[in-house]
Chains A and B, each alone.
Chain A
Amino acid sequence: MSELLVPDTQSVKELLSMMYGESVDVSQGDVAPDDGWRAATYVTDVGAVASVCACDAPFVMYSGAALTMIPGNVANEMLSRKDFSEVILGNFHEIMNICSRLLMSDTTQHVRLEDTLEPEASQSVFSTFAPDGTLVGFKIEIPGYGTGSLLFYIS
């Protein structure tokens, strides 16, 4: 059994389009986490962290808001105040849960979302995971909301 899949533009677009519509725009590119980013950790069946998805504040806000159709102008206002409500973070957690499918197939090892972390806790995860893994970054535009970034680290 091989390790995990490395998400690409097509697989990310297909998955996100099922939630946000066909107009979602996905492009691969260089993105680098800063201190406002949040991490989602994915673990194997024995509890080892096998992948981390890092997301910037706009992606957290827009993906969370769009999932339950919180209007784009409200989401942008909340983003400007850095107001990440329980609903937004709960929705973001579910998006990260669904994104576990980007990492698995019938021939890879099995992983599941372990947790989504606050920015402070995320920084040590990024620094631990970044040096040795495969990195792939994306810019994601969710129509009616805006553009955010995410980055997968895969061990």
Chain B
Amino acid sequence: MDIMVVDDSAAMRMMIIRTLRQAGFGANDVVQAGDGVEALEAIRAKTPDLVLADWNMPNMTGIELLEALRAENNDVVFGFITTEATATMRSKARDAGAKFLISKPFTVEAFEQVLDAVVG
């Protein structure tokens, strides 16, 4: 499975990749993008099986990325890993087509629980 991790923090991308490994998803190929624009270009070239994106990023936010993908009829499995944890933001994510939202800071157990249900 190809997984794309989109976050403007290099440290956070590394933490997400480490947590993916600890949650049993270490055998998958992981690519990274630093914002929504970079991710959109990469996804247009090759759609991964799963996108894990931050919400607040420069240039193009995570929700703008998701909306752009759906506008292009790209139905890649998409989830947020973000500090945005309120009911309003969860609802907005779901309405835009996100499969899940994992709150920062996250745990290995949260990854296992959510990712096993979505792509396990």
Classify chain A's interface size.
20 to 34
A101-B103 in contact given A67-B15, A93-B9 (Cβ < 8 Å): yes
A101-B11 in contact given A106-B88, A113-B56 (Cβ < 8 Å): no
Can you report 11 residue pairs joining A to B where beta carbons are below 8 Å apart? A68-B11, A68-B14, A68-B15, A90-B11, A91-B9, A94-B9, A97-B56, A100-B83, A106-B88, A110-B86, A112-B83
| Number of B positions contacting A (CB below 8 A) | 19
A97: chain B residues within 8 A (beta carbon): 9, 56, 83, 104
Q: Determine whether A31 belongs to the interface, using a CB cutoff of 8 Å to chain B.
A: no
How distant is A64 from chain B, measured CB to nearest CB, in Å? 8
| Cα A110 to Cα B92 with chains together (Å) | 14
Tell me if A94 and B103 are in contact (CB < 8 A): no
Other-chain contact of B11, A91, A104, A105 (Cβ < 8 Å): A91
B12: chain A residues within 8 A (beta carbon): 94
Q: Determine whether A125 belongs to the interface, using a CB cutoff of 8 Å to chain B.
A: no
